[in-house]
Amino acid sequence: MRFCILEADRPAEAFQPDHGTYAGMFMRWLGPHLPEADFSNVFVAGGEALPQPADFDAYLITGSRAGAYEGHNWIAPFEAFLRKVRAERIPLVGVCFGHQIMAQAFDGVVRKSDDGWVIGRQEHSLTPEGADLFGPSALSALSFHQDQVIELPPGARHLLSNAASPNGGLVYDDFPAMSLQFHPEFQPAYIRDLLVAASGIRVPAPLAETAMASLDDPLEPDRIAQGVARFFRSHARVAP
């Protein structure tokens, strides 16, 4: 399976020696559950050229510090590329910013939430379709975002949600695509380092303290990876 990770950002340089890039985080998280994948990555936000959609059997979009609505010069071409991926029915998964840019590219609405930051461990309720993919019990994962999908694009249905992220997971009717607002690829240590750097500056200190305390509670990255791998394995177009 020719698998491309579309990097919409990379961590700040200060974090990379300990945590690596977002592409590396996804490979470490998903790779053990999808051993047939031959991973490549394209740093879209860094100006690397987008492939032709058919160059790969499946795509995954990372998170980003950018907002989908911010108008950076790489966002409009990226949205056009995603619409081509959809037209060619190539499997696609987006995470956090990836979740948001997919919704925006497909005529949904994304903006900064009036309720502010969602950070730390969160539990999510699954729809029947989400339960088929991930199992029936509530799903625990890490979040770090302010932006939200406010209006679903046409053809999108819910996979999972919670009060903080009502549109927290989507699947699409007309091509094999799904997206998740949370960060299954993040390790608690990375969130902890982000909170130390952001507390009292970007993130209110009381919220940072609450989020920090949640990082010791159980998470389910392997369960989520198994579901995502199952999705890709079911839909990926593998070249002969």
- For residue 96, what pLDDT is reported? 98
Is the pLDDT reported for residue 69 higher than 90? yes
- For residue 149, what pLDDT is reported? 98
Domain ranges in the chain are 2-186+219-235
Is the pLDDT reported for residue 240 higher than 50? no
- For residue 236, what pLDDT is reported? 74
State the average pLDDT over residues 202-214. 95
What pTM was computed for the model? 0.96
Neighbours of 196 (CB within 10 A): 10
Is the pLDDT reported for residue 106 higher than 60? yes
Cα 171 to Cα 174: distance, rounded to the nearest angstrom: 10
Instruction: Kindly state which CATH superfamily the domain 2-186+219-235 is placed in.
Output: Class I glutamine amidotransferase (GATase) domain (3.40.50.880)
Nearest to 52 by CA among 107, 101, 4: 4
Is the pLDDT reported for residue 239 higher than 60? no
- For residue 238, what pLDDT is reported? 57
- In the chain, what percentage of residues exceed pLDDT 90? 95
* Structure confidence by residue, pLDDT tens digits, 118-143: 999 999 999 999 999 999 999 999 99
Q: Which residues contact 114 (CB under 8 A, 6 or more apart)?
A: none
* Structure confidence by residue, pLDDT tens digits, 146-187: 999 999 999 999 999 999 999 999 999 999 999 999 999 999
The secondary structure of the chain, three-state, reads CEEEEEECCCCCHHHHHHHCCHHHHHHHHHHHHCCCCEEEEEEHHHCCCCCCHHHCCEEEECCCCCCCCCCCCCHHHHHHHHHHHHHCCCCEEEECHHHHHHHHHCCCEEEECCCCCEEEEEEEEECHHHHHHHCCCCEEEEEEECEEEEECCCCEEEEEECCCCCCCEEEECCCCEEEECCCCCCCHHHHHHHHHHHECCCECHHHHHHHHHHCCCCCCHHHHHHHHHHHHHHHCCCCC
Phi-psi region of 150 (alpha: psi -120 to 50; beta: other; left: phi over 0): alpha
Please provide the size of the chain in residues: 240
